Amino acid sequence: MPYLETAVEIAREAGALLANYFERRVAFEVKGEFDLVTEADRASEKLVVERLRSHFPSHGIVAEEGGGHDPQAEYCWYVDPLDGTTNFAHSFPAFNVSIGLARAGQMVAGVVYDPIHQEMFTAERGAGAYLNNRRIHVSQIKRMAECLGSSGFPARKRDHNVNIHFYYQMAMASHGVRRTGSAALDLAFVACGRLDLFWEFGLKPWDVAAGTLLVTEAGGRVSDMRGAPHSVTQSDHLLADNGSLHGEVLEAFGEVFHGRLRVPLPPVP
């Protein structure tokens, strides 16, 4: 499909731009209370949006830093020009550019590119998921007790976020829970089996559009954290895993939603 090939080219170009800023250690500004933004976010968005517009003038674009237009169009691109800005601003090498395409609300193509490790994750609906052109699959771990998970916490209104309860229960019940600081990479890592599951509250369409397609095309499962179908534009939370774990994780999350904690937090001495 020409859409995916074009998105790959654009992601490679934007990734090179990000890597260049990363080497030069750019300054950051604070967008919200703890929400950082850099010149690199803006320059990458400008590049991606300009390229998409010139290739596909009839398509809509929803981009994190506000560069989009016409989100109701039949084809709509979701662009996170720099996912993992906090990492980036601290010279922590875990970030990517993420570009996903939906047709009539259904994801049809997605690219997540990590320019530091030169890893290009791609997926097309019905055609599988790939890492640097090699087919990838989710892990085969069957039990939560043996899984490695990941989750994240928002920069905005973080004092309203209840995820720490889910995080603690899952950390107690599994091999561990990572926090990479990049939701798109978390999803890409579930797709290629480096992680067995990922969940988070309050993600935006550009964080998850490409990554959720990677997971489903790699044989995994995506829903919201209560088990309802996940919508890139409307869901309040997301659970993505290798499919085998889905039922067990939903059961554990259901208990937390009902305030039943298997392992209470130990008191501070």
By the rule CB under 6 A, 84 interacts with ligand IPD: yes
65 binds ligand IPD (CB under 6 A): no
**Nearest Cα to 238, choosing from 205, 194, 269?**
205
Please identify, among the stretches 47-55, 133-141, 149-157, 200-208, the one whose residues bind Ca ion according to the rule CB under 5 A.
Answer: 200-208
| Buried residues in 134-160 as b, exposed as e (16+ CB within 10 A) | eebebbebeebeebbbbbbebbeeeee
If one asks whether residue 102 binds ligand IPD (CB under 6 A), the answer comes out as no
The SS3 call for residue 142 is coil
Residues 123 and 267: their CA atoms lie apart, in Å, by 46
Is 102 within 8 Å of 3 (Cβ atoms)?
A: no
- Is residue 200 a contact residue for Ca ion (CB under 5 A)? no
Out of 186, 207, 217, 224, name the contact with Ca ion by CB under 5 A. Answer: 207
Site for ligand IPD in 105-164 (CB under 6 A): 152-155
Side-chain-side CA neighbours of 147 within 13 Å: the count stands at 28
Question: Of residues 169, 182, 216, 235, which one binds ligand IPD by CB under 6 A?
Answer: 182
> CB of 130: closest distance to ligand IPD in angstroms?
22
- The verdict on 205 binding ligand IPD (CB under 6 A) reads no
Which residues of the shown chain bind ligand IPD in the complex (CB under 6 A)?
80, 83-86, 152-155, 181-183, 200, 203, 207
